[in-house]
Structure 1
Amino acid sequence: MYNHILVPVDASPEAENAVGHAVHLADEIGADIHALYVAGDRSTDDSADRMGSKRGDRALDGATERADEHGVPTQTAVAEGDPAETIVDYAGEINADLIVMGTHGRDGVNRLFNGSVAERVGRRVSIPVMSIRLDDAGQSVNSPLEAQRIAREKLERAGHDDAVIESPSQQRTSWVVRASDDCGEYNVHINSVSGRAKVVHVG
């Protein structure tokens, strides 16, 4: 399904939440994680550079620790530049086949990855981009019928009312529901503990 999952990080709760989603998915399917911290353009303020460096170290160390807990192979990188452009370029360099991004909305002044960055990345890459919001919530999912119901609701909210849904596949900590319509094919990933669901366009 996926081999190389790219996760941009910035030491925020939203990014840490995205790392958790990416690690669980990678653990289930045998993929590896690439954690990327984008430092932005170099500042003339040395104190700002030091703060950015510490934030990057903290973000990358946190991602590595989460992955190590599950035995997921991890690589880390730091880059400078425009966040969206840098993420897109790095995804190409590592042959990523999925990008998982935590989103903050558009009101965070000091936060590097906001909703608009995720949208720009999504428009420029040909691989799926999974946007994870911190306030995504749900409930435990214990049956295929419940997984299908959640997948149907998620697809309808995404505008895929006529999607044909296949029987769910149960992984260790999630359900994967395949679906398709005239616009393409999708995998709906549903966390079996929280009920959180994400639609990924796969073809």
Structure 2
Amino acid sequence: MYTRILVPVDGSPEASNAVGHALQVAELADAEIHALYVEGGTGDDDGASAVDARGTRALGDVRERAGEYGIPVETTVAGGEPAEIIAAYATQTSADLVVMGTHGRDGVNRLLNGSVAERVGRRVSVPVMTLRLGHSERSVKSPLQAQRIAREKLELVGHEDAIIESPSQQRTTWVVPASDDDSNYNVHIESTSGRAKVVQLG
């Protein structure tokens, strides 16, 4: 089916959603993931530093999530016009599928707007899967679901006696407070993927 899946990322929720889909396909197909962050060129040192930090976070997140699935991953940073760079990288790596999140407007790094995805599709000879992040597509849709995921995550890391409190919802994340005899915690849950992380407070 597929052996190498290319996922362009820009640090946005849409890209995170695309990574989740790519990992699911890779797991089924026994494929590897190639994550690409395209630098847009900011023209000043402070802007460049912000881009570097965003790229580091975005690619680090892909590596961490791929590790959870046990999927091989390669990450790359490249500079230039996004559609050209993505298409060239797809050819260079012999990718047989490109998975892109889109938000129909200029994104964090001009990477995931619809016109870029269209231009990539015209330049490559492999399928391009585009995914838009609608409210109905979010995998964690209710406070009860967030609490359940938080409970499972806390049990997994040895805090099975923690008391779960009411979640709060941010734009892309649920935050679920919890506490036990040892400490207080916040469980951060991505609304797009359901991926959870426990943060100990104090």
- Equivalent AA in structure 1 for residue 56 of structure 2: D
Find the residue that maps to 2:101 and give its secondary structure.
strand
Cα displacement (A) at 1:110? 5.4
Question: Equivalent residue for 1:78?
Answer: 77
> Deviations for 1:166-197, whole angstroms, at most 9, x for unmatched residues?
xxxxxxxxxxxxxxxxxxxxxxxxxxxx9xxx
Q: Which residue of 1 aligns with 2:36?
A: 36
Distance in 1 (CA, whole Å) between partners of 2:108 and 2:10 is 13
What's the C-alpha RMSD, in Å, of the aligned pairs? 2.1
Corresponding residue of 1:13: 13
**C-alpha deviation, 1:66, in angstroms:** 1.0
Cα deviation digits, residues 10-32 of structure 1 (max 9, x gap)? 11000000000000110111000
Report SS of the residue matched to 1:127: coil
Q: Normalized against structure 2, the TM-score is what?
A: 0.65
Partners of 2:12 and 2:110 lie apart in 1 by 8
Quick check: 2:10–2:109 contact (8 Å CA) kept in 1?
no
Counterpart code for 1:45: D
Q: How does 1:185-196 map to 2 (within 5 A)?
A: none
* The structure with more radius of gyration: 2
Other-structure match for 2:131: 132
State the 1:135 CA deviation: 1.1
Distance 1:98 1:6 in 2: 6
List alignment gaps of at least 5 residues for structure 2. Answer: 138-192, 194-202
Where in structure 1 are there 5+ consecutive unaligned residues? 139-193, 195-203
Distance 1:75 1:107, change over 3 A: closer
Structure 2 residue matching 1:86: 3-state secondary structure:
helix
| Alpha-carbon displacement from aligned partner over 1:111-144 (angstroms, at most 9, x marks no partner) | 4321110000001111000001111746xxxxxx
Alignment of 1:58 onto 2:61: no
Cα displacement (A) at 1:106? 2.0
SS in 2 for 1:69: helix
Separation (CA, whole Å) in 1 of partners of 2:118 and 2:39: 19
CA–CA separation in structure 2 for the residues paired with 1:26 and 1:81: 27
| Identity across the alignment (%) | 62
What TM-score does the superposition give when structure 1 sets the normalisation length?
0.65
CA deviation after TM superposition for structure 1 residue 47, in Å: 0.4
Ranges of 4+ aligned residues in structure 1 off by more than 4 Å: 107-111
The AA in structure 1 aligned to 2:2 is Y
- What is the Cα deviation at residue 43 of structure 1? 3.5
* 2:102 aligned residue: 103
